[in-house]
Amino acid sequence: MKSYTLTQTRNQHGEVFDQATVEPVLITKQKRPSHVILSAEAYQQLVTRLEELEDLHWGQAAENALSQSSMVGSEAFTTTLEKLANG
């Protein structure tokens, strides 16, 4: 990832944004990372991938919860209720 100082970014903004279409660009302020500039397409790809990973995580969490659950199906539940109601 190419890096520019904040001053370079102000003075060479065209070059910085051109570079950001190719790869993310790191902006530093007082020698510390400050911002990252990336293309809208790269940003959307990151957001899409994050959403996919979140869906995967929550899907696995739901499957784990279901596999550890002691819930019964509706037929077993209804049968048990009928037995209890009929004594």
* CA 74 to the chain's CA centroid: 36
Residues ≥6 apart with Cβ < 8 Å to 28: 3, 4, 5, 6, 34
Q: pLDDT tens digit string along 12-54?
A: 999 999 999 999 999 999 999 999 999 999 999 999 999 999 9
Total domains in the fold of the chain: 2
Domain shared by 8 and 33, yes or no: yes
Domain shared by 46 and 81, yes or no: yes
Full residue range of the structural domain in which residue 34 is found: 2-38
Domain shared by 25 and 10, yes or no: yes
- Amino acid letter, residue 76: A
Sheet hosting strand 2-5, strand order edge to edge: 2-5, 25-29, 32-37
Domain shared by 34 and 46, yes or no: no
CATH label of the domain that carries residue 20: 3.40.1620.10
Whole-structure pTM value? 0.65
H or E stretch at 1: none
Cβ–Cβ < 8 Å for 16, 4: yes
Confidence of residue 70 (pLDDT cuts 50, 70, 90): confident
